[in-house]
Amino acid sequence: MKKLQVYTLREFIAPFLLSCGIFTFVMLLDKLLDLLDMIVSKGVPVRTVVEVFLLLLPSMVAVVIPMGVLAGVLMAVGRMEADLEVTAMKSSGISIFVLIKPLMLAALLLTATMVLFNNYVLPDANHMAKNLLLDIGTMRPTAKIIPGMFVEDIENYRIIVEEKDDLTGELENVVIHERVPGMPGRTITALRGRMEPVSANRFRLVLSDGQMHELTDNGEYRKLDFSVYTVEIVRSDELIRQDRDNRGDRELSAGQMRALVDSLEKQVELFEDSLLNTGSAPILALINDSTIFSGRTAFPPPDSVDARTWFNLSRNYLAQHSGDLRILADRIASLQRSISRYKVEIQKKYSIPFACIVFVLLGIPLGLSTRKGSAGIALGVSLLVILAYYLFLIAGEQLADRRMMPAFLSMWLPNIILGAFGVVLTARSLHEGNPLPLGRLLAASRSFFTKFRDNKPGTAGGLKEGRSV
């Protein structure tokens, strides 16, 4: 019996690793062009690009492992069913549970490993990858110039442009604040400009029809009109690495995010108390019949103030309070959105690894249903299940971020639905040879589409009325 379990596990490992490699390669294709651009356009050393690649791998591994589990189980069990090994087991009185046990133990081990991986390896890898990508981005300053946004990470310069043509390098309405140590501060404005890259770490701005405003150390102001002016911007040849302390939600562990959630919830309570006090102040003043007249309003109006003046002052007072209420309400809503986002990321660190167990429960009965070497059907079914799972996960994440669904339910609902379906199919597989008749379903679908095509208007079988030819 133990030999059979070891054999099942050995049959699973090879397709599991192969599937993980294929899925990782497919996900890497999206980043491949960016990595090549770093080498060709920015002159980034190959060693640094390899480092970026290695830092991006953990974010892919966190998603690929559950996918590989499903594909590996489907291929392993499907091959054993196609070679009649499962039939031989049943004829010998051996239960399907013998297959389930080693695969479930492997899934439990992978789940525990991925939970630790998501909390202790992935956040630091994401943080290091973000810092390295930001540092690489500064090696080609022209790429950092975005229309309508100040560029502040170019040393000694602060640049903003209104329009930018990425193909020709033409600029419109350029403003440059130049702060070179040992030189007077300058503000340069120009109607037009042109970017001329010189090397990976150096480029030239040729400005036309502009002015230069300069303020010397002794307070003397000078202005110069120019028709053409050139600004040389040089970066260091070496990659300058900076350690940034600020972290996003995907750069934190579950414990760190729980601490942030507790802190944000305390802030929400304080703002809610302020909101209640600010909203109740005018009402309490009116109920207590107290006089509030400090140049704004009065409840009730003093004898020295006419009704019209009192009405205007009261309206201004209430308008000011309503503005304060809106500010507090917006701040509370912003904090609650941040809390929801952190809660979603916390649940995601556990729900995605748990999908390994869910996919084993689904993969075994689906693998038994793909008979007689239907490896293509097994792969197609695995891709459909994976697609459905991650579509539900992404939709749940969006709903939870908008506070339309609790974070726990949004992240665990795909596991609950597919897990329940897998339990039902697994229970059927313990008593029946074919828990899910995929062959009959595919035959029925082919028959349906054949009839639909034959009965489609304009075809020979679909002509109900028409002229004889």
Summarize pLDDT for 382-423 with one digit per residue, the tens.
Answer: 788 888 898 888 888 888 888 888 999 999 999 999 999 888
DSSP 8-class letter at 141: G
Distance CA 228, CA 426 (A): 77
Task: Indicate whether 8 belongs to any domain.
Answer: yes
Taking each helix axis from N to C terminus, what angle separates 307-369 and 407-429, rounded to the nearest 10 degrees? 20
Q: Are residues 360 and 405 in the same domain?
A: yes
Domains held by the chain: number = 3
Task: Indicate whether 241 belongs to any domain.
Answer: no
The residues near 168 (Cβ < 8 Å, ≥ 6 apart) are 194
Q: Are residues 41 and 121 in the same domain?
A: yes
Task: Indicate whether 449 belongs to any domain.
Answer: no
- For residue 10, the surrounding DSSP H or E stretch is helix 2-40
Q: Residue 426: pLDDT band by 50, 70, 90 thresholds?
A: confident
- Stretch among 70-74, 237-241, 429-433 having the lowest mean pLDDT: 237-241
**Per-residue pLDDT at 296:** 43
Q: Are residues 120 and 173 in the same domain?
A: no
Q: Which of 290, 323, 345 is the last residue of a domain?
A: 345
Q: Which of 382, 407, 404 is nearest to 393 (CA)?
A: 407
Task: Indicate whether 307 belongs to any domain.
Answer: yes
Identity of the highest mean pLDDT range in 160-174, 224-238, 259-273, 324-338: 259-273
The residues near 371 (Cβ < 8 Å, ≥ 6 apart) are 81, 82, 434, 439
Q: Are residues 14 and 125 in the same domain?
A: yes
Q: Are residues 337 and 352 in the same domain?
A: no
Cis peptide before 300 (omega within 30 of 0): yes
Question: Sheet containing 221-234: which strands, arranged edge to edge?
Answer: 157-164, 170-178, 185-199, 202-215, 221-234
Distance CA 254, CA 205 (A): 46
Q: Which residue has the higher pLDDT, 309 or 162?
A: 162
Q: Are residues 255 and 197 in the same domain?
A: no
Q: Are residues 328 and 395 in the same domain?
A: no
- Stretch among 181-190, 320-329, 407-416 having the lowest mean pLDDT: 320-329
Distance CA 102, CA 94 (A): 15
Q: What is the pLDDT of residues 447-469, one digit of tens each?
A: 656 665 666 555 545 544 444 33
Distance CA 224, CA 213 (A): 7
Q: Which of 313, 329, 345 is the last residue of a domain?
A: 345
- Is 80 exceeded by the pLDDT of residue 430? no
**Per-residue pLDDT at 153:** 64
The residues near 34 (Cβ < 8 Å, ≥ 6 apart) are none
CB 430 within 8 A of CB 89: no
Q: Which residue has the higher pLDDT, 23 or 218?
A: 23
CB 362 within 8 A of CB 385: yes
Q: Are residues 118 and 161 in the same domain?
A: no
Q: Are residues 9 and 125 in the same domain?
A: yes
Average pLDDT over residues 436-448: 57
- Is 50 exceeded by the pLDDT of residue 287? no
Residue 222 one-letter amino acid: R
What radius of gyration, in Å, describes the C-alpha atoms of the chain? 33
Task: Indicate whether 135 belongs to any domain.
Answer: no
**Per-residue pLDDT at 66:** 92
∠ Cα 346 347 352 (to 5°): 115
Distance CA 426, CA 132 (A): 46
Q: Are residues 6 and 117 in the same domain?
A: yes
CA quadruple 167, 169, 173, 175: dihedral sign: positive
Q: Are residues 123 and 8 in the same domain?
A: yes
CA quadruple 179, 180, 184, 189: dihedral sign: negative
**Per-residue pLDDT at 315:** 65
CB 74 within 8 A of CB 366: yes
Q: Which of 206, 234, 262 is the last residue of a domain?
A: 234
**Per-residue pLDDT at 441:** 53
Alpha helices (H) in 97-167, listed in sequence order: 97-120, 122-137
Task: Indicate whether 90 belongs to any domain.
Answer: yes
DSSP assignment of 231-274: EEEE--SS----------GGGS-HHHHHHHHHHHHHHHHHHHHH
**Per-residue pLDDT at 448:** 58
Task: Indicate whether 446 belongs to any domain.
Answer: no
Q: Which residue has the higher pLDDT, 276 or 454?
A: 276
pLDDT over 70, % of the chain:
72
CB 59 within 8 A of CB 125: yes
- Stretch among 181-190, 200-209, 238-247, 338-347 having the lowest mean pLDDT: 238-247
Show the domain range for 316. 249-345
Task: Indicate whether 136 belongs to any domain.
Answer: no
Q: Are residues 82 and 195 in the same domain?
A: no
- For residue 355, the surrounding DSSP H or E stretch is helix 307-369
CB 111 within 8 A of CB 353: yes
